[in-house]
Every structure is written in structure tokens, then in C-alpha cells.
Amino acid sequence: MQLATSKTEQSLAGTRGFDTWPNTKILTELLAGQRRALDAVERALPAISIAADLITSRLTDGGKLIYAGAGTSIRIAVQDGSELPATFGMAEEKIDYLIAGGRAAMFETLADAEDDGEAGRLAAAQSCTSADALIAVAASGHTPYTIAAARQARSVGCCVIAVVNNAGSPLAAAADHEVLIESGPEVISGSTRMGAGTAQKATLNLLSTLVHTRLGAVHDGFMVNVQAGNQKLVARAARIVSALSGQPMDRAESAIRTTGGHVKPAVLLLSGATDLATAQSILSASGGNLRLALSKLPGKV
């Protein structure tokens, strides 16, 4: 398939005179495009589920999570990845980014950087190992930098997930698994920061959240690996501890102080663990899984 025939590059029917429409009509059309993008994500849920299992397996065994892409795609990917430490407690050193044009491209256009396939190959060669998982994101699926990074990563045994908005792409062919989110033509032709970008963001959010749920960072809908790095997050951590332990806020706040801001051992302390060392030992023996750790407390089944 040639890039010119990609669905994301085609014109959307019914938009003649778009720039002359009243504001509300323009906004209504744009919003409809966002809804179509989310519908495409819903159709991709089975593929996202498989991708999450593949990534979870690599991270469980100590591998890194790496995002690769150019332009809007990598900016969206970096947004997803950069929030994982604070939200789910993922170690900063376990996340990496292969960015066409380097970090400067997060703020500057540097459009031609996406055409540099050799740069993509070298970046992957320096970062990707057989233990890791790479999420390669491109609306078109034809971005040379991203394709080269994916091919290099896969050649060394890194698990490669392609997130693309067009079927039959070279990027998908270079991956171990494809997440196809066919968001279709854009309201503003070719502006993949719109529908395609929304579909990518939703997909990456769903994917990383499912991965970290499976890794034990979520319990009953609470972020039990939240990093309490400021007053707001300390208060949030205490509320989580109170909710999960059934204990009042003053006891939850005290437990959070005792554990240095860590939710899981604080919950264990308020649920029957005799002291912090015991709580940490039970949690370690449970692989960091709070539900399993709670079941090991005295009097629990």
C-alpha cells in the first residue's frame, strides 16, 4: 500500500466549505471525528489485550518498556510513558524513548528526522535487548525512522508491538504484534494529530494501564503503586490506604508516614501485619501483589 492511498491521508466526505461553517458546526464535525477514533480503539481491544500480555511478560522478567516514533506519535507516546512512574511506580530506568530527531523534537518540528531510517536503527541498537518490549507508533505505518527501529529491535529478540492507524503497513510487518486502530480519514485531511492522535493516545493509555494492572500496580481500581512525591499525592495515598484497609484517615496517614509514602505496606500494617518489616516481607514473598499479600495475613483465607 502506498502512503498516498492510506486512509488517514484521504479526504473525508461532506467537508466541502468546512472553513466557512459556523463555529458550532465545525466543532461538531471535529468531535464526531474524535468519536470515530474511539470507536476504532474499541474494535482494537482484542489486539490491545494480546499486546498487554506480551509486554507484561517482558516487564515481569525485568525488561524495559521502550517507545519509538516521530512527530505527533512519539509526543503522545512520551506523554504515556512519562506518567508511568508517578502513577504506577515504574522505575524510571525501565522506560526509554526512541525519538526521531532526539529530545529536541518534542518541542521543535524537525519534520525531516522521521525520514532517517539509519538513526532509528542506531537508536534501537543502543537501547533494545532481547529482554525488552518496544511499542512503535506511527499513524501511517510508513515512517522510516520507526520502521528501522522496529526491525532492529526485533532482530535482537526484543518484543515489538506496532500501533498503527492504517492496515497493511511496513511497520506492522516489522513487528511481532500489530494493534491496528483504523480511525479513517481526518476531518482536516491528513492532520493525524486529530482522530489518529486521539486513537493512539487512548490505545496507549489502555495498553499501559492494563499492563500495570497485571503487574500488580492496581487493586480494586486504586493506584497502589502511586509515588507520594508531593502533598497532593501523600493525601491521595492516605485516602487509598483508608479505603482499602477500612481504617480511618488518621490511622491511614500515620501508616503512610511509617512506610515512607508506600501504599501497599501501609495497607498491610492496618490489616494485621505486626510491623513494617513483616509487611514488607509478606509483600516481597507475594511478588508485590497486594491481594496475594493480604491473603497471607494471620486470620485471612
Catalytic residue selected from 42, 83, 108, 118: 83
Is 92 an annotated catalytic residue?
Answer: no
* Grid coordinates given for 132: 525488552
CB-based contact 128:66 (threshold 8 Å) = yes
Catalytic residue selected from 9, 114, 182, 186: 114
Q: How far apart are CA 161 and CA 202, in angstroms?
A: 16
SS3 track for the chain: CCHHHCHHHCECCCCCCHHHCCHHHHHHHHHHHHHHHHHHHHHCHHHHHHHHHHHHHHHHCCCCEEEEECHHHHHHHHHHHHCHHHHHCCCHHHEEEEECCCHHHHCCCCHHHHHCHHHHHHHHHHHCCCCCEEEEEECCCCCHHHHHHHHHHHHCCCEEEEEECCCCCHHHHCCCEEEECCCCCECCCCCCCCHHHHHHHHHHHHHHHHHHHHCCCEECCEECCCCCCCHHHHHHHHHHHHHHHCCCHHHHHHHHHHCCCCHHHHHHHCCCCCCHHHHHHHHHHCCCCHHHHHHCCCCCC
Is 9 an annotated catalytic residue?
Answer: no
Catalytic residues, which ones?
83, 114
